[in-house]
Structure 1
Amino acid sequence: MVAWMLVIHLIGLVFWLGSLLAATHVLAVHAQESSEEARAALGRLEKKILDGLAHPGLALMVVSGIILLFLQPYAIRELWMHVKLFMVLVLIGLDVKVYRRTESFQAGAIELRREECMIWHGVIAAVFLAILVLVMVKPFS
C-alpha cells in the first residue's frame, strides 16, 4: 500500500510542479507578446495548464501525502519532514500567487514583466530541489 501511495504521490508531484513550471514559462512569453490573437491563445493555454493539470496534480499529491503520513506515522516525528511540509506550504502559496496574478493579468487588471515570471519559475524550481534533497538525504535524521 505504501509503495502505491508513493507512486500516486510522485505522479501528483510531476503533474503539479511540471505544469506550474510550464505555466510560469508560458506566462513569461505571454507577458512579452504584442499580438492580441497570440495573447488570447497563451491565456487559454495558461488556464488549461493550471486548471487542467497543475491543480489536479496538487490535489492528488496532497491527498496521497496525507495518506502516506497515516501509513507511516513515524515520519512526522522527523525534522526533515517538518521542513519539507513547510516548503510544500511555500510551494502552495507560490501556486496561489501565480494563479491569482495570471487571472489578474488575463483580465487586464495588471501588467506582468517576463523577468517577474522567470523569478517565480526559478523560486519554484529551487524550493522543489530543496524538497528533493530533504527527502532523499534526510539531513536532520
Structure 2
Amino acid sequence: MQLLPWILVFHLIGLVLWVGSLLIAMPVLAAHIGERSPEARQALSRIETKLLRGMAHPGAAVMIITGVLMILTNTAYYLHAHWLHVKLLLVVVLIALDLRVTFRARAFQAGKIEMRRGECQALGGAVAAVFLLILIMVLAKPF
C-alpha cells in the first residue's frame, strides 16, 4: 500500500476544513458586528468559536502535519521545487491571517475592541486570495 495518496487525502481534508472555516467565519463575524440582540450576539459568538477552534485550527494542524509528511516522502524533489517555496511562504501568510482573525474575533467577543464589516470583508478577501495563489502554485507549478 502506498502511503502518499493517503497523506494527500488528509492534506486536502485539512485544506477544506481550514480555509473553508475561515471563509465562513468572516460573514458570521460580519453579521455579529451588526447584530444588536444580546441573544443573537451570543449565538454568533459561539458559532465563530466553533468554526475557528473546532474546524479551522484542527484543519490547519492536519494540513501542516501532512504537508511535512509529503515533503519527507521525497525531499530531493520537494526541497528543490521553487513553486513549493512560494507555497510555503503563502502558507505562512495564511497562518498569519488565521491568527489575526482569531485574535480579533476573541477581542471583539470580549468587548475589548470594535470591528467593522469592512475589516471582515478584507480578511475574507485576503484568505481567498492567498488560497487561490496556493492553488496556482500547486496545480500550475509556474516555477
Q: What are the superposed Cα offsets for residues 30-86 of structure 1, whole Å, 9 maximum, x if unpaired?
A: 111111111110001100111111111000000000000000211121111000000
1:71 aligns with 2:87: no
Which of 33, 50, 53 is 2:52 aligned to? 50
* Superposed counterparts of 1:126-137, under 5 Å: 126-137=129-140
CA distance in 2, matches of 1:76, 1:135: 14
Q: CA deviation at 1:92?
A: 0.3
1:100 aligns with 2:100: no
CA distance in 2, matches of 1:76, 1:88: 16
* SS in structure 2 of the partner of residue 112 of structure 1: coil
Moved beyond 3 Å, runs of 4+: none
Q: Which residue of 2 aligns with 1:5?
A: 7
Alpha-carbon RMSD: 0.6
Could you tell me which runs of 5 or more consecutive residues in structure 1 were left unpaired when the two chains were aligned: none
TM-score (norm 2): 0.96
CA distance in 1, matches of 2:17, 2:126: 18
TM-score (norm 1): 0.98
Q: Give the % identical residues.
A: 53
Which of 66, 81, 84 is 1:81 aligned to? 84
Could you tell me which runs of 5 or more consecutive residues in structure 2 were left unpaired when the two chains were aligned: none
